[in-house]
Structure 1
Amino acid sequence: MKLPVPIHHLKRRAKLLHRREQIPLHAALDRIATAEGYRRWSLLAARQPVASVATALYRRLDPGDLVLVAGRPGQGKTLVSLALAAEAARAGRRSAFFSLEYTPGDVVERLRALGFETGELAGFFDLDCSDAISADYVGAALAAAPAGTLAVIDYLQLLDQRRDRPELSRQVGDLKALARQRGLIIVLLSQVDRSYDPAAKPFPDITDIHLPNPVDLRLFDKRCFLNGGEIRFEAAA
């Protein structure tokens, strides 16, 4: 579908709707998307050149990397990460998507929004939406994964929501060790604090990551921040 106006104009409309009707911003974004013929804002955002962004980003990732992809709801974290997984498959490498947020149907819908059918990725792409996902679970699932496999975990703040899971800081440390020891690329999606104001700065940064429980964010080798259909990449010092 062709948008009648640029996406940043639609985002402006959503912000006005959010203020005028005092509804959550993500709900305002979804309402604007519906008016343009899309079920959700994330599907409208898929019109942006996600595939080309993912291709450029994938080339900057190396086996052994622990990567953070962060943004507010509706900014395309899931789409970018799925495009990364598809890019890995295109390169002949395995990829996996672990989600504590979405159902398999949700993920398939987003893949289709990017122009992919799951059959195209058969043998290279694994999808897991189990409620049991944790660092240990991911490690066991990737026990036979070859070096270079890209794994996405959706998302950071849900990893320790169950009381029988280790604390979040330990799990992130375990994931970093897993990536380094096995030569995997592990991507963690993350929420951004609601206090982040895009009018004050164009992209969120490491200080805006929502952390209900403490985590040493220096564990991440590379970080990506999304806002307004654009992405900022940085490598940890």
Structure 2
Amino acid sequence: MRLSAPIYHLKRKAKRLSREEGIPLHDALDRIATTEGFSAWSMLVAKAAAITPANRLFPQFRPGDLVLVGARPGQGKTLMSLELAVEAMRSGHRAAFFSLEYTEKDVLERFQAIGVNPAQFHELFAVDCSDAINADYVVKEMAAAPRGTFVVIDYLQLLDQRRENPDLSVQVRALKSFARDKGLIVVFVSQIDRSYDPAVKPCPDLGDVRLPNPLDLKLFDKTCFLNNSEVQFRAAS
């Protein structure tokens, strides 16, 4: 059964319902669950955990892949990248999340949004929110990472915001080479241009990626675009 919206959207809906009707949150969650065809929220969560797009997508990734995950704000691109990282860790791999957007606290709170306790992956997961993050920084920090490590960079358009950093295209090429040499999976979270119109197509694509600076998007081996409950995955031909 397919949910009408991602779990985190349904949670927001339940919180709003709880406030508006003055009912306990657990009652609101159960009420939302019934609209999705489940008798209780716990049943919905259990079912969703078994059918997430992330656990369908992760087996299609290979060491050395450079991946782009793109969506408009609020559509779940960061949560998708974390869900993929969780799948990697459940498979026994390490994962690292480099963010120029969030604090470590923000990142850990987003684990809660996808129904995962980050403590269970304490030995496998690392968060880095340094202002110095760029390609050279990631290469240095991941130099000893074992093959198969899952690396998320949040997000693409911020990598060259500091004038002293190399051009975005130079950084992405460097990380692509590094990923292949080390056998890592490197995922870039990406913004989508405001001109994208969901009424025209259900999901954005490479043509909708916001590029304030030039970048050859053919460098990415795989892409994953999201909008509402739609997820479109493509591998380079």
User: Under TM normalisation by the shorter chain, which class is it?
Assistant: 0.7 to 0.9
Q: Does the alignment pair 1:132 with 2:132?
A: yes
Work out the CA distance in 2 between the residues paired with 1:72 and 1:147.
Answer: 31
In structure 1, the residue matched to 2:213 is 213
Q: Which runs of 5+ in 1 are unaligned?
A: 12-30, 39-43
Q: Is the 8 A contact 2:104 2:129 kept in 1?
A: yes
- CA offsets 1:12-65 (integer angstroms, 9 cap, x no match): xxxxxxxxxxxxxxxxxxx97863459xxxxx9xx7947721111110100000
- CA 1:33/1:162 → structure 2, altered by over 3 Å: closer, same or farther? farther
Q: CA deviation at 1:117?
A: 2.0
In structure 2, the residue matched to 1:227 is 227
Q: Which amino acid aligns with 1:203?
A: C
Q: Which amino acid aligns with 1:57?
A: L
The aligned length equals 206
Work out the CA distance in 2 between the residues paired with 1:214 and 1:34.
Answer: 41
Q: Which runs of 5+ in 2 are unaligned?
A: 20-31, 33-44
In structure 1, the residue matched to 2:169 is 169
Q: Does the alignment pair 1:193 with 2:193?
A: yes
Work out the CA distance in 1 between the residues paired with 2:15 and 2:195.
Answer: 26
Work out the CA distance in 2 between the residues paired with 1:160 and 1:127.
Answer: 20
Q: CA deviation at 1:7?
A: 3.7
TM-score, with structure 1 as normaliser: 0.81
| Partner SS for 1:69 | strand
Work out the CA distance in 1 between the residues paired with 2:167 and 2:15.
Answer: 39
- CA 1:6/1:234 → structure 2, altered by over 3 Å: closer, same or farther? closer
In structure 2, the residue matched to 1:104 is 104
Work out the CA distance in 2 between the residues paired with 1:53 and 1:7.
Answer: 12
| Partner SS for 2:201 | coil
| Partner SS for 2:60 | coil
Q: Is the 8 A contact 2:4 2:229 kept in 1?
A: no
In structure 1, the residue matched to 2:114 is 114
Q: Which amino acid aligns with 1:225?
A: F
Work out the CA distance in 2 between the residues paired with 1:113 and 1:59.
Answer: 23
| Structure with greater Cα Rg | 2
In structure 2, the residue matched to 1:70 is 70
| Partner SS for 1:102 | coil
Identity of aligned residues (%): 57
Q: CA deviation at 1:6?
A: 4.2
Work out the CA distance in 2 between the residues paired with 1:207 and 1:56.
Answer: 25
Q: CA deviation at 1:216?
A: 0.4
Q: Is the 8 A contact 1:66 1:186 kept in 2?
A: yes
Work out the CA distance in 2 between the residues paired with 1:52 and 1:201.
Answer: 22
Considering only aligned residues, what root-mean-square deviation do their CA atoms show, in Å?
2.4
Work out the CA distance in 1 between the residues paired with 2:171 and 2:97.
Answer: 17
